[in-house]
Amino acid sequence: MMFCPKCGSLLVPKKSKKEIKCSCGYIHKDKEEAKIKLSDELVKDKKIEVMDEEDKIKTMPLTTIDCPMCDSESARFWTVQTRSADEAETRFFRCEKCHHIWRDAS
């Protein structure tokens, strides 16, 4: 890294010419000293994985709560902002045993 002797900003290499230039207008003259090297990093895109509904549910946190339908004690939960932003989120639960979905009463 090199810094501008005039203003102290970082000197940035320009792609069009083999020079290092500052935003204040200063151009570094000695190309050998600067050892300008421009390189682009190739980033491979990851494949998009599609999840079905069951896989989405399995990623949700598990909690201990009584199901109103089957009296099971474990359910997955998630939150949704169903009202205005200054009010609390609504918590939804899905029973692990019977898959019944209900919302938090509080």
Nearest to 21 by CA among 4, 38, 7, 35: 4
- Name the token pair of 75: 């359910």
| Helix H or strand E segment including 16 | none
Return the residue matching tokens 């290499």. 13
Residue 87 appears among annotated catalytic residues: yes
Which residues on neighbouring strands pair with residue 10, listed in sequence order? Answer: 3
Residue 96 appears among annotated catalytic residues: no
Q: Which residue out of 53, 86, 89, 104 is catalytically annotated?
A: 86
Annotated active-site positions, please? 86-87
